[in-house]
Every structure is written in structure tokens, then in C-alpha cells.
Amino acid sequence: MLNFNTEQLQQHTTPFYIYDLNLLHQTLETAQQEAQKYNFHVHYALKANANTPVLNLVRQHGFGADCVSGNEVKAAIENGFAPKEVVFAGVGKSDAEINFALDQEIFCFNCESKHELQVINELAEKKDKIARVALRINPNVNANTHKYITTGLEENKFGINAWELESVLELLQELKHIELIGVHFHIGSQITDLTVFKNLCTRVNEFQEWFLAHNVTLQHINVGGGLGVDYYHPDENLIPDFAAYFGLFDQFLTLQPGQQVHFELGRALVAQCGTLISRVLYIKNGVSTNFAILDAGMTELIRPALYQSYHKIENLTSKKKEVRYDVVGPICESSDCFGKAVMLPETNRGDLIAIRTAGAYGEVMASAYNLRDKAAAVYV
């Protein structure tokens, strides 16, 4: 059960996000301790949550920044991340975004196609600069997660496929304003089966051998993010098992002397510290179920509607006997449902409802659909 004082929560206009910065601090510290055992370097994926207090704490714990848009690069730098700690990925970087990142002299572009390499080369030439680049390779490894957040299969739009690498190396010979410094992989998100990462390591080792055979030395190997969190039992597993995660890469990755390993974690660092707090507007009896209608909806948290994802729902103010509810939002879409057949203490208008594990891909994915107001963020 969530550990906030309900009287304090009652003072805020619902719906709102509440972030536990103490838990965030503990999570970041644990992740860093485990990563540093192997000299691994972690970039935080801003796309999970780019709120300033979150970014500040992340930066203070020594993480770099993983960005997927020009505005994310800008947000990282404005929030104090050094440009040499910024990586920039994404299949569709615009010219303006590339130019901005070149001007900032970021650490590395994670490039996803030959065409993109050519464009970055052209734009860098105009500025008389050399762009540092890692090739994002599609390793064709199944992440065993929801299909919308699977990115490392050949059918996905992401990365350069293995059969193109030969021609990429030929192309790179001609591109005088590109310096190849690494390779990058990211196979998906919310990965809870660690053997998936073991399979990734096996593929990375194969690619490494291929590069060695072609006399290409790589300064760094970026294995992306994707470590999942426990949406079902947040209180039992507030901090993901970073020891097992980083230990696995140490055990199964074969590195060349001096090579650095980089990670890009988002969800695992911030998901559990955020909760969406909402108030019950109405209770309505349907044909086969009771509906608890909240003042928060898919506009505040779209994950259940988009990925049919589970978030634990708690009634913070009722202690009555449990009743079954479909917990829904006010938006004019039937997919605007946070959970079906959820057992909650008998729920009434005005009760406070917590939707847990919402710190990652919650607030950042909010929309103004139905011209909704943006929910506030509260930090404790």
C-alpha cells in the first residue's frame, strides 16, 4: 500500500502525479553501485520521464542522458547534463535536430540507417565538424514483451540489419565527416525475462567478431535499456534487481581490451517512484459490472489503453468490504479503462484512488485529448 499521508494528498486538485524522490534516490544509487562494479556507464532514457526534479536527481547520481529528439537533447543540456554525456537515437532525426546536436557537440549519434549516415555526414561537413557515431544494429532478438515495445526484430523499423553491415562499412570509407566509435542495440522495453539479455549478449559477441574480422575496433558497446519492473507487486519489488541485470552482462559479454559498455535505462529507474492520484467521480452499475468512474483517464496515463498494460489500483480512503469494479476514466473512448474486474474496498464518490508504477511513460505520454487540462506533478 502506498505510503503517503492521505490528508496531505487531499489538499491537491486531482488528478495529479506524485513522485517519491527518496525512492528515486535509492533506486538511482542502487543502480549506480551495481553498474560501477563493472565500470559500466548508464545513460538515463529521458523519454521515460523528463521532469526537471527527476532529471536533476538523475544527473546528480552521475548518469548520462539518452535522447530521442532535439528537444530531449535540449532538455538534457538545460538540466545540466554535459554534452559529452548525451547520446541521440531515433529512426527519424530531422535536419534541425541533427544540426542542433552537432552544435552542442554531443557524445554520439546512434544511427539507424545508411541514409541517415549520409545526411549526418553532409550536415557535419557544412559545419566542418566530425560527427561521432554508433551504428544501431537490429540483432533480431525477441524481447518477449508487448509487440508495440519490441524493437529488435527484423520486422521492426529500428536499426541496421546484419546483411547491410558490409555495405555500411564501405559507405563509411567515403564519409569523411563521420567517426565510427561504437555499436548500439536496443531490443525492447519492459523485459522481465533476463535470458532475453543473455541472448542479446550472444548476438553482440557475434557482431563483435564480425567487426574484428573486418579490422574495425569499437570504443564502446551500447546495449540499450529495457529492464522491466514489477507492475503487479510494486511494494515487494520497489527497486529492480540491478545486481542480476548488470551481473548478467558482465558474465556473458565478451569485451575487447579498453572497450566500454554503455546502457540506456529508463523505466527501471523511474517507474516505481511515480503514482497517479485520482478521485472517484461516480459509481455506476452496468449490466455485469460496477463502474468506478475516475477524474483521471487515458489522457493522463495511456499505457492501459495502448498496451493493455496492468497497473495496480488502490483505494486510499475506503476500508470497507471488497467489491469488483471496472475502473474507468472520463474520456469518450471505451479503451479509457485502467482495469477490469478490479477488487477494491467499496468505493464511493470522492475516494482517492492511486494508480501505481506510473513514474515511467506516464506523464510524458499525457495528451490534451478532449481539451483536458494537464495534471500537476507533486514531489515528496
Annotated binding site for substrate: 267, 303, 307, 333, 361
The count of other CB atoms within 10 Å of the CB of residue 200 is 26
**Binding-site residue set:** 226, 264-267, 303, 307, 333, 361
Nearer to ligand LLP, 4 or 307 (CB): 307
User: Does residue 185 touch ligand LLP according to CB under 6 A?
Assistant: no
Of 274, 196, 265, nearest to 226 by C-alpha is 265
Cβ contact 351:281 at 8 Å: no
User: Does residue 329 touch ligand LLP according to CB under 6 A?
Assistant: no
What would the x/- binding string for ligand LLP be over residues 218 to 237, using CB under 6 A?
------xxxx----------
Of 20, 66, 85, 326, the one binding ligand LLP by CB under 6 A: 66
User: Does residue 150 touch ligand LLP according to CB under 6 A?
Assistant: no
User: Using H for helix, E for strand and C for coil, what is the string for 247-305?
Assistant: HHHHHHCCCCCCCEEEEEECHHHHHHHEEEEEEEEEEEECCCCEEEEECCCCCCCCHHH
Of 186, 220, 262, 356, the one binding ligand LLP by CB under 6 A: 186
302-321 residues in contact with ligand LLP (CB under 6 A) are 303, 307
Of 81, 179, 69, 175, nearest to 134 by C-alpha is 179
**Rounded least distance, CB 350 to ligand LLP, Å:** 30
User: Does residue 274 touch ligand LLP according to CB under 6 A?
Assistant: no
Contacts 24+ apart (CB under 8 A), 279-288: 279/14, 279/15, 279/350, 279/351, 279/352, 279/353, 280/347, 280/348, 280/349, 280/350, 280/351, 280/353, 281/330, 281/349, 282/349, 283/347, 283/348, 283/349, 286/326
User: Does residue 292 touch ligand LLP according to CB under 6 A?
Assistant: no
Q: Which residues are catalytic?
A: 332
CA distance 366 to 283: 25
User: Does residue 190 touch ligand LLP according to CB under 6 A?
Assistant: yes
Stretch near ligand LLP under the rule CB under 6 A, chosen from 15-23, 163-171, 265-273, 285-293: 265-273
Q: Helices 70-78 and 95-104: crossing angle, nearest 10°?
A: 30
- Distance between start and end Cα atoms, the chain: 17
**Rounded least distance, CB 185 to ligand LLP, Å:** 9
User: Does residue 15 touch ligand LLP according to CB under 6 A?
Assistant: no
User: Does residue 266 touch ligand LLP according to CB under 6 A?
Assistant: yes
3-state secondary structure of 200: helix
| Length reported for the chain | 380
Nearer to ligand LLP, 265 or 375 (CB): 265
**Binding-site residue set for pyridoxal 5'-phosphate:** 226, 264-267, 361
User: Does residue 149 touch ligand LLP according to CB under 6 A?
Assistant: yes
**Rounded least distance, CB 321 to ligand LLP, Å:** 34
User: Does residue 48 touch ligand LLP according to CB under 6 A?
Assistant: yes
CA distance 331 to 371: 10
CA distance 112 to 100: 18
Of 158, 123, 139, 157, nearest to 196 by C-alpha is 139
Of 267, 312, 356, 372, the one binding ligand LLP by CB under 6 A: 267
Of 9, 18, 55, 89, the one binding ligand LLP by CB under 6 A: 89
Q: If binding means CB under 6 A, how many residues of this protein chain bind ligand LLP?
A: 21
Nearer to ligand LLP, 15 or 240 (CB): 240
Residues forming the site for ligand LLP (CB under 6 A): 45, 47-48, 66, 89, 149, 186, 189-190, 224-227, 264-268, 303, 307, 361
